[in-house]
Amino acid sequence: MLGLSISKELILTRFNFNIATSTIAAICLIIMFILAPTPFAISQVPDTTKYGVKITYPSDGETVSVGELTIFGTARYDATNNACTVYADWNDSQPMQKAMPAGLNFTEFGRNSNDYSSWTFTYTGKYHLISEGTNELNAKLSCDVGPFNSTKYDSVTVTGIPTED
């Protein structure tokens, strides 16, 4: 009888140990899934449909003076993504030139130099001056979003006229 009693206790002890071990393993897995970074999956591709860039001045079809011209624009993107840049070009000339961020994103350390919510670009003799006739001005928003790149464009066509002396 004593041998049978020991066997029952041994079996119950092993059974309880297995339950405890399984429970601890399950809790560890749950904690890992909650706290560990989620691997990037196709279902987690960021939504960039609301991203965009817009030249706000000059307007499409506007007449401007030949020579230097500063254009202004806005960009929409996820503000937590600091890997966005706005570029500008003239008549699809390459390479595109980096615009100047002019957003109001102030922090305790000063303006965030990557805030392209507002931006400017000046066409000068260093790149290309506005010429007489048709000038196509292009803006490009380029964002590195994880392993993906989101690119949006806007363009306006302006007519350069000589300034009156």
CATH number at residue 58: 2.60.40.650
Which of these, 97, 152, 153, 103, lies nearest to 125 by C-alpha position? 97
Beta sheet of 52-57, edge-to-edge order: 52-57, 69-76, 118-123, 100-101
Domain count for the chain: 2
On whether both 10 and 60 belong to a single domain, the answer is no
pLDDT digit string (tens) for the chain, length 165 residues: 555 555 555 454 555 656 666 677 667 556 655 665 555 445 466 778 889 999 999 999 999 999 999 999 999 988 776 689 999 999 999 899 999 998 876 444 445 567 889 999 999 999 999 999 999 999 999 998 877 889 999 999 999 999 886
